[in-house]
Structure 1
Amino acid sequence: MSARAGARRGLAYGWLAARRRARDMVLPAVTTATGAFLVVLVFGMSAGIRAQSASLGHAAEISRAVLLIAVTVLLVGVAEVAVATTRTVAHRTRELGVLAATGVPRAPVVAALLVEPVVSAVVGALAGAALAVGTGAALGMTGLVASGVSYPGLAYGAAVATAVSVVAALATSIIPTYRAASRPPVRSLAQGG
């Protein structure tokens, strides 16, 4: 089996497992959605925030602080994705042992295990971004935000939130999944889970 075919089968298996375990992915997705919501709104209102903070004399510092807070909330959501991945790997120890014992190479197993955190991050980021765009549009139309809402800022914020969520979910999930896929089959089967 070629590496490409193995990765494709691993992703297909991971997708099936993710669908089966959808309930376990709700909390990480909601947490990521919360962070994405804030990031998108910050980007959508950043021009107004800059204008208002300029009147205080510290425009750059206030803008950086607001952005840092929003990204921190987003990364907390991604940390929840990483915790969920570690929990998932711990619960699927026996399954990983069976896969390894039947000769499934490490790469497809890692690919399969990475599907859940990526799906959680993407679904959460897109849901949060969509809610933020809707909220931003409503706030802009009603005039409740004195500084206004920038639609290009909302779009840019949605792209940033989604990209950061996916990259961070992969970065925080790769080590536990690689370790689990590298464990000897006998050890995984004996440990159970």
Structure 2
Amino acid sequence: MVLPAVTTATGALLVVLVFGMSDGIRTQSAALGHADEISRAVVLIAVTVLLVGVAEVAVATTRTVAHRTRELGVLAANGVPRAPVVAALLVEPVVAAVLGALAGSLLAVVTGVLLGTVGVVATGVSYGGLAIGAGIAVVVSIVAALATSVLPTWKAASRPPIHSLASGG
């Protein structure tokens, strides 16, 4: 789950920086004549990168669940209800998404503050934009990780124990 967390962190970094520099992006795109379209495209690209990281979390979840087939069969054969099994399996992707989003957001805030302080960003960096971007990155990461991981974990936990134990992963 390290690679998905790193990819999610990269997406979060981009989202937070885009929101932190959104005023400057709008100002520069107004000079080009299409401020609204360019601003929306930049945000869309940033969110897309974040969602790619979360999709990678989902792929890792599917792989993890596939490797735990026998373990899931043993739990089901011993009468463990499906809901706690699914909840336990969802901890890993959610933690990876949250840690990635928090790490990327923190790095982006530090970078944004440094860039603004040094004066590298001529239009400045909005602290409010950085905060909004960090919030969006974390929330989108959690929601997307849950949305993409629930189905594979539910399907795996729903298999009859005999099939899970016989296939062995």
User: What residue number does 1:47 align with?
Assistant: 23
1:189 equivalent in alignment to 2:169: no
Distance of 2:166 and 2:7 partners within structure 1: 34
**Superposition TM-score, scaled by structure 1 size:** 0.87
Unaligned runs of 5+ in 2: none
Q: Deviations over 1:91-148 (max 9, x none)?
A: 1111101110100000000101110110000000000000000000110001111121
Give the 5 Å matches for 1:173-188.
173-188=149-164
Distance of 1:147 and 1:81 partners within structure 2: 35
Structure 1 counterpart of 2:96, one-letter code: S
Distance of 1:89 and 1:112 partners within structure 2: 11
Q: Secondary structure of the residue that 1:36 maps to in structure 2?
A: helix
User: What residue number does 1:116 align with?
Assistant: 92
Distance of 2:85 and 2:72 partners within structure 1: 8
Unaligned runs of 5+ in 1: 1-24
Give, in angstroms, the shift of residue 52 of structure 1: 1.1
Q: Pick from 70, 80, 100 the counterpart of residue 104 of structure 1.
A: 80
User: What residue number does 2:47 align with?
Assistant: 71
Please list every run of at least 4 consecutive aligned residues from structure 1 whose deviation after the TM superposition is greater than 2 angstroms. Answer: none
Structure 2 counterpart of 1:80, one-letter code: E
Q: Deviations over 1:36-81 (max 9, x none)?
A: 0000000000011001111111100000010011001000000000
User: What residue number does 2:133 align with?
Assistant: 157
Give, in angstroms, the shift of residue 187 of structure 1: 0.5
User: What residue number does 2:110 align with?
Assistant: 134
1:93 equivalent in alignment to 2:63: no
Q: Deviations over 1:139-179 (max 9, x none)?
A: 00011111210011001000000000000000000110000
Give the 5 Å matches for 1:3-22.
none
Identity %, equivalent residues: 81
Distance of 1:43 and 1:95 partners within structure 2: 43
User: What residue number does 1:19 align with?
Assistant: none
